[in-house]
Amino acid sequence: MTVAIVRFGGSNCDRDALRALQQLDVDAEIVWHEDGLPVDTSGIVLPGGFSYGDYLRAGAMAAHSPVMDEVRDLAAEGVPVLGVCNGAQIGSESGLTPGAFTTNASARFQCEHVHLRVENPDTPWTQAYDEGDVLSIPIAHGEGRFEIDDDRLDELETEDRVLFRYCDEHGNVREESNPNGSKHSVAGVLGEHDTVAVLMPHPERASLPDIGGTDGQGVLRAFD
């Protein structure tokens, strides 16, 4: 059983994800998208980067890769799927999760540590945390602003499908702590099943003690 980290042309966080999972003793391998998923795939990571140069829209072209049909099929069977940053954009573009990620309110690329508040601890991705926990995890994106129509957002919130919100170091959700203008400060959401999640911050970059903290490890422990 292995976690498949799907590499597209332009992916650049696949090796980060691999190292972070190996740190947790999770069997994982990088898979070129044209080769399809291994038969023993037990989890899937759609990593960050700039797939296809982010032409058209970030994630739009990768979402039409044939491997995404396999990803959707396995997701429907309950196989854990995590999309991070560009992987979150691919996930939303391919219909794995609702909403869309578009240009930051600042209209610039932002690379910095942010704080996230855990909204729903009862998922595979957040079971290591308590509701209200505040995590420090980096972002690195130019198109991370989460957008969705108000009615659909109300449904997500009613169904507890908002995983994380941007907040300050004390857990307060404020306009000043929202780095990209995401609606309702949403930083991560669930698909129709809680085994599918996307988020813009990079948990794999906050999983190794020697490079800046381990707050993101809990997210990756869903693959244990």
Which active-site residues does the annotation give?
85, 202, 204
Rounded to whole angstroms, how far apart are CA atoms 53 and 47?
Answer: 14
Q: Which helix (H) or strand (E) is 166 found in, with range?
A: strand 162-167
Which residue is listed with tokens 């307060």?
A: 172
**């997500």: which residue's tokens?**
156
Kindly state the tokens that stand for 107. 């209209």
Whose structure tokens read 């997210």?
Answer: 219
- Scored b (16 or more CB within 10 A) or e, 17-31 reads bbebbebeebebeeb
The answer to whether residues 106 and 145 touch, using CB atoms and an 8 Å cutoff, is: no
> What letter does residue 46 receive in the DSSP assignment?
E
